[in-house]
Amino acid sequence: MARNFRSEFPALETASGDAWHYLDTAATAQKAQPVLDAITRAYGPDYATVHRGVYERSANMTLAYEAARKRVANFLGAASEKEVIFTSGATDSINLVAESWGPANIGKDDRIMLSQLEHHSNIVPWQMLAERVGAHIDVAPLTADGQIDLDWIEAHLTERHKLVALAHVSNVLGSLLDAKRAAELAHFHGAKLLLDGCQAAPRVPVNVQELGCDFYVFSGHKIYGPTGIGALWAPYAILDAMPPWKGGGSMIDRVSFDGTTYAPPPGRFEAGTPHIAGVVGLDAAIQYVQSIGLDRISDHENATLAMAREALSGINSVRVFGPDKSMGILSFAVGDVHPHDVATILDEGGVAIRAGHHCAQPLMDYLKVPATARASFGIYSNADDVAALVTGIERVRKIFG
């Protein structure tokens, strides 16, 4: 009997017992019961602080916390768990790199290469850094089908570029970056490559060593885990050369008023009491994903997306954005109807989508639209969700003529 993934996610059923057609997984994924159970245990019978107490429960929680770090390292193909920094999410991870690595490696008249489709979290921290140190930002255009134009990047990278920061998968178009080629192009000019893996980590197998990137970031809540937790990966040598960003407990070697020495990575970057239950929940989420297999998740999402793309492409006045083979994400417009109106009408039929600029306003400007509607899929998405989406869009067309 085929496994019913949908039944493992309690939130996908309404209080009245009706199905909720959740198509906003790119914003945040729903949580499977094993993840919820792990978080409940972490806040309940297992709860204690980490890295501080000598009593048994604290020691056990510390072991669980560090086991989660090792799992994240293995999940990303890292050489060592010492290369994994726990953060509050991808935004925090990118800001850590911008605030710690950035000023030590990017100076006046240096350049940073971004792309037109980046999330605000992979734009604003670099703008803030560039303004502070006098650096410049270049923006790569997109190909006709919504991919980052690596040919353009190859033609415009120079020795002044110190960093290339790109989305591994676009949160609006679902386009998948050729990350290996991006790394080769960056390294040819002596630049580092940071990959925003928020939409990739839940959908495609990631091996940072094979990709050749220098920084990789992702958020736990995108991968069926809790909010408020994420990770930054970088080779240990890079982390070891980076100064601390935040000061406080845990990130120190010794503190005195004559001077303070800092702990080695990863502790150097994890000041204060961490999000313990979040780390435990992230560990459970990765275990859950690995029990299914990322290839299987990707195949399921892409099959569901292909079904939706075909259905929407056959509806008059519906415009679909992005490449034909996008990764679990489908942005669209219904004539001149504002996406917020589309989303509101869909919600009346129990269909939840995202509408707006998706924290990618430069991309909206590039597409010459104020916003888009976005349906995004997860392991729990199915043909009924697609049918409900199509029915809702037909109702939008009827209401707005």
* Residues with active-site annotation: 359
Q: Which residues have C-beta within 8 Å of that of residue 47, sequence separation ≥ 6?
A: 57, 61, 276, 277
Pairing between β-strand 192-196 and β-strand 215-219 as defined by DSSP bridges: parallel
**Which DSSP letter does residue 359 get?**
T
Query: Which bin fits 146, alpha (ψ -120 to 50), beta or left (φ > 0)?
Result: left
Q: Report CA-CA distances (Å) from 234 to 182, 228, 238, 277.
A: 16, 20, 7, 24
**Which DSSP letter does residue 122 get?**
G
Report residue 247 as tokens.
């000061």
Q: 138 in helix, strand or coil?
A: strand
Q: Which residues have C-beta within 8 Å of that of residue 379, sequence separation ≥ 6?
A: 5, 224, 292, 297, 300, 301
* Residue 159 CB neighbours (<10 A): 11
Q: Is the peptide bond prior to 243 cis by the omega test (within 30 degrees of 0)?
A: no
- The backbone torsions φ and ψ at residue 95, rounded to the nearest 5 degrees and listed phi first, read -65, -35
Cα–Cα dist 157/58, whole Å: 50
Report residue 279 as tokens.
């780390």
Cα–Cα dist 268/253, whole Å: 9
How far is Cα of residue 386 from the mean position of the Cα atoms in its chain? 24
Give the residue carrying structure tokens 């994994």: 84
